[in-house]
Every structure is written in C-alpha cells, then in structure tokens.
Amino acid sequence: MTPIIRLPVPRQSPSSPTPPIPAAVSIVDGRTDIADSTRALAEKYSLAGFTLATTDGLVFSTSGNPTASEDAARYGGRVPPDGIPEEAGVTLFCLTHQGTSLSGIIRSDRPLSEDVVSSIGKDTQEILNRWI
C-alpha cells in the first residue's frame, strides 16, 4: 500500500482591517433630527449598527439597530482612557459633548482601523454639535 502524502495547508495571515469606504452621504444637511443623522452615519460607513450611549448605559441616539438598548447597557461608559477595545464585531470609542461623556458603540461586519473609528467619532461630534 502506498502512503498518501498530504501537503501542508498554508496558513493565512490574519487580514488587516479593511476600512469601509465612506459613502458620499451628508450626516447633517437635509436631515430632520438626530436619529436621522445617526442612521446616515451608519449608512456612510456601512455599519451594521451604531449607538450613542450615556455612561450610565442609556441610549442617547441609535441608527435603529435592534440591540441598541442592550449595547448601551452593556458597553456604555466602558471605554478605558488608554484604548479602544473591540470584541465580537463591536468597537467602542468615547467622546465628550457639553461636559457630558458619551460612548460610541459601533457594530460592524469587518474590523475597523483606528482612522475609521476616529472619523466616525468626528462625524458623531458634528451630529451632536448640530442637534444638541
């Protein structure tokens, strides 16, 4: 009997974050309210969902994702000052608006680069400046 020799399967290196290409979507112009702007933000970055939460776990604004309340309760105020944790398709960032700390909770089907997260944070600040 001749032995079967199998070649090793090459290991694939983990893929680097592929930033979504932001769509040409205005997040404030022509929008009716903060919820409309938040939905536009999710559309611009092709996000599965976006929630802005208070540090005590309440939804401040959402793109309409069904897990917004759960996300706000679980992740609101959880961003450490020295990093942006990411787990199971969730990326977090924090910002302050008019003295109030808020948590941005991003749901995405792909990893996001720090540059994209930073851009989402800047767009979120623009939304807050417009509506609050």
Q: Which residues contact 88 (CB under 8 A, 6 or more apart)?
A: none
Q: How far is it, in rounded angstroms, from Cα 110 to Cα 89?
A: 7
Mean pLDDT of all residues in 103-120: 92
Are the C-beta atoms of residues 124 and 104 closer than 8 Å to each other?
Answer: yes
Rounded Cα–Cα distance for residues 124 and 115 (Å): 14
Ranges of beta strands (E only) in 8-113 are 49-54, 59-62, 86-87, 90-97, 100-107
Residue 54: pLDDT above 50? yes
Place of tokens 């609101």: 76
- Tell me if the pTM is above 0.85: no
pLDDT in tens, 1-44: 555 555 454 444 445 455 456 667 889 999 999 999 999 999 99
pLDDT confidence of residue 53? 95
The model's pLDDT over 55-88, given as tens digits with 9 standing for 90+, comes to 899 999 999 999 999 999 998 877 665 555 556 7
In order of start, what are the domains of the chain with their CATH numbers?
34-131 (3.30.450.30)
Distance (Å, rounded) from C-alpha 54 to C-alpha 21? Answer: 28
Farthest CA pair distance, the chain: 78
